[in-house]
Amino acid sequence: MTQQSLFIIKPDGVERKLVGNIIARFEKKGFKIVKLKMLTFTKEMAEEFYLEHKSKPFFAELVSFIISGKVVAAVIEGNNVISTTREMVGTTKSFEAAPGSIRGDYGLGVTNNIIHASDSTESFEREVNIVFK
């Protein structure tokens, strides 16, 4: 089933010059890049983006981190792209992510875990409208 997904290389990934390596993984997997841009989240964008976590104790940390530097956002397309991307990205806590996953290979923590990826079609629709307004 062809679908689209969003991933965002977070400020730590951009700062560590991992953008090319990460994008190459998705291209090698056979996914097509449909949209690509570099941006800096505003506080308002970040709060809207992470709205589902607003009541959680780590919300402020998420917002603060994503606005701390430039990010690279991409919309990719392909068969089962959402579930495959989530598998490629790895679990949120980098120290628990499988070796070979993006977070397993590059992540240094929970917040500074290199990358965000949409976890469902609904999340993709909401997130892409924030990032690619």
Point out the residues that are catalytic: 116
Which residue is it, tokens 């499988």?
A: 98
Backbone angles phi, psi at 5, to 5 degrees: -145, 165
> Residue 122: left if φ>0, alpha if ψ -120 to 50, beta else—which one?
alpha
User: Are 7 and 37 a contacting pair, CB within 8 Å?
Assistant: no
Backbone angles phi, psi at 44, to 5 degrees: -65, -45
